[in-house]
Amino acid sequence: MHIKDRRLQQALLRALADESSARILAATAYRTLSVMDLVRQEGIASSSAYRHVHELESDGLLVVDRTVLTPDGKIYQMYRATFREVTVTFHAGDLVVNATPNLDAVQKAFRLFHSFTEEI
């Protein structure tokens, strides 16, 4: 899928250029993880992990796959990357960004978004 939206292109490039964000996207491309899973598995500091996850989610690069309620009443989110693969090329003066959507995550986010919209 060719990404033409400049805002999304810039968000992807910014995320890929940042080591922690790129590791979060790679870790969640094929599996759903919580922020604490990312902290443990990727060795990212807790405060940084929360900040990066929030930024990636606001840019549309990460979505909440599900919300978990623990037996002791705590709630946390499990995240999934919206793209499985991204390729960036610079061809004849143009930046070309292609991405393979993570259909599970995209469809879930689409259904969630539309479940909150009002019918007119």
d(Cα 2, Cα 99) in Å, to the nearest integer?
A: 7
- pLDDT higher than threshold 90 for residue 33: yes
* Domain extent listing, the chain: 2-115
Contact 88, 96 (CB under 8 A): yes
% residues pLDDT > 90 (the chain): 66
Tokens 């709630």 sit on residue: 75
d(Cα 25, Cα 59) in Å, to the nearest integer?
A: 12
At the topology level, CATH places domain 2-115 in Arc Repressor Mutant, subunit A (1.10.10)
Give the dihedral of Cα atoms 13, 53, 111, 75; nearest 10 deg. Answer: 170
Give the type of residue at 39. Answer: V
This prediction has a pTM of 0.81
According to DSSP, residue 2 is labeled E
